[in-house]
Amino acid sequence: MFATRFGTTEIVARAFERGLKGAGIETVCARTSDITPNSLRDYDLICLGGPTEVLTATREVKDFLRGIGNFNVGGKFGFAFDTKLDSRFSGSAAKYIEHALDDSGLHMIADRQSAIVISRKDGGKIVGADLKEGEERRFEELGARIGKATEEALEKIQGSAQRQR
C-alpha cells in the first residue's frame, strides 16, 4: 500500500511489487485511499509506504495507520518504506510507519527503507519530484529479497505448526 503526492512513492511501490511477484508472492498494490484496514487480515505481508513531508508521514498515512489499530493484524509480517530528500534534516515517514506497524503487532520482515527523491521547484515552490537514479531498480531487488524472506518465514511457521499436531 502507498500514499503519494507527486507519484514517486507509487513508482517505488510498483517496483517493490514487481520484486515480490518475481519471488512468487501474490500481491495487491493499492493506494491507502483505495483499501480498508479491515481487508489487511487477508494478507501475510503488509507493506506500507508514503512520502516524507515535514519530517514525518503525511496525514493520509497516519489516518490509515490509526485505522489498522482497530483490526487484528498481529502475527503477520510488515515492511515500511518512504520517499524523501537526501538530507539528514528531511526526517522519515518510514520511521513513523515502521513504529506504527510494529505497535499494531506486525513482525517487521526487514528494516525500513527510503527511496531518495530530488525535488523540482518553480519559483521556490516544490512542484514535483523525481526518483534518484537507481532507486526504482533497488526497490525491485529489495522486493525480491523480502519476498524470499517472507516465503522462508511462512514455511518455517507452517512446518512448526505441523510438528505441533
DSSP 5: S
- Indicate whether this model's pTM tops 0.85: yes
| CA–CA gap between residue 31 and residue 2 (Å, rounded) | 5
Look at residue 2 and tell me if it is in a domain. no
Q: Is residue 48 a part of any domain in this protein?
A: yes
The verdict on residue 31 lying in a domain is yes
Looking at the domain assignment, is residue 1 inside a domain? Answer: no
Tell me whether residue 93 is in a domain.
yes
The answer to the question of residue 88 being in a domain is yes
Q: Residue 65 domain-assigned?
A: yes
Q: Which domain holds residue 138?
A: 8-164
134: domain CATH number is: 3.40.50.360
CA distances from 131 to 14, 83, 115, 137, 159 (A): 13, 8, 7, 11, 41
> Domain count of the chain?
1
Cell numbers describing residue 135: 532507486
**Polymer length in residues for the chain:** 165
Q: What is the DSSP string of 29-68?
A: --BGGGS-GGGGGG-SEEEEEEEEETBEE-HHHHHHHHHH
Segment (H or E) for 115 = strand 113-122
Query: Is residue 44 in some structural domain?
Result: yes
Question: Tens digit of pLDDT per residue, the chain (165 long)?
Answer: 999 999 999 999 999 999 999 999 999 999 999 998 888 888 999 999 999 998 999 999 999 998 887 677 777 999 999 999 988 888 999 999 999 999 988 999 999 999 999 988 899 888 889 999 999 999 999 999 999 999 999 888 877 655 454
61: cell is 498515512
